[in-house]
Structure 1
Amino acid sequence: MTKTVAAPTHTSTATPSPSVSVSVVVTTVQKPAPQPPASSQAPVAAYVDPVAVVQKFYSDLNSKNFRAAWDAGGSNFTNGGDYYSWVAGYANTTGVIGTATDAGGGVVDTEFTAMQTDGIAEVYQGTYTVRNGVIVAGHMHRVN
């Protein structure tokens, strides 16, 4: 924040008495303009980047924040089901670890491992397409 302070102004005033004079110094200080309160929301721009969107999607899955993962694009991977059947599809998944690489044009190359409750690690490869901060399409295939 920058404070603006006006330079002091000096005013001299002579009194009617011939032997006494008085000087008065007047300083004017300008108050800074009020600032709006800080936003309590995280910036959205960070998640418009396609790689950041995919990483956030994986993070939401790992933290079981299925609503946020659904909103980030999970709704586009339902195989004809609804939200509840999509969430149920993750019932045996304990975590998702993956890489995301920008392939350009909103396409993200990815490889991820879905750890299952029975200890099996399922590895997938493919691409996600991100538009306006949402995964709008994906083509994944299991490699093991």
Structure 2
Amino acid sequence: MDSKYLIGSNGNARGLAAVFPVKRKLEPMKEQNVIKKPNNYSPPKQPTQVYKNVLANRKTSIEQERKALPVYHCRQRILKELEAHDTLLIMGETGSGKTTQIPQFLMQAGYANQGIIGITQPRRVAAITIAKRVAQEMACNVGEAVG
């Protein structure tokens, strides 16, 4: 393989870089080279009873987890205060449900009818994790009602 070396203007090794020319020619795949396998899978037309039971149990456990959060018991007060004031400052311990529950309270109360409810987080990973959790609690996929 041919290579050329470029040296920086001052001649030192820090400016050294290797340049390798590409000599391969890529051709598009042809129809006869593609292996076709028959698709024998078809999803069930109706959810099975086992799947329905799993979903019901998951919904029950998520609902129990939500009700165990401290902010859940403050729902009515939060909505009442929001009717009286444009801005609320809600302080609570880490894990009390502020980030995951309050947006759901607002959505259920109709605050998202004319737009969206936004949540900010200092880190992207935290925002993605929150979106996944809220989507799970709302029984939807990220990118539908949440995300």
TM bin (shorter chain) = under 0.3
Whose relative contact order is higher, 1 or 2, with alpha carbons under 8 Å and at least 6 apart? 1
Q: Whose strand fraction is larger, Structure 1's or Structure 2's?
A: 1
The two structures have a TM-score, normalised by structure 1, of: 0.19
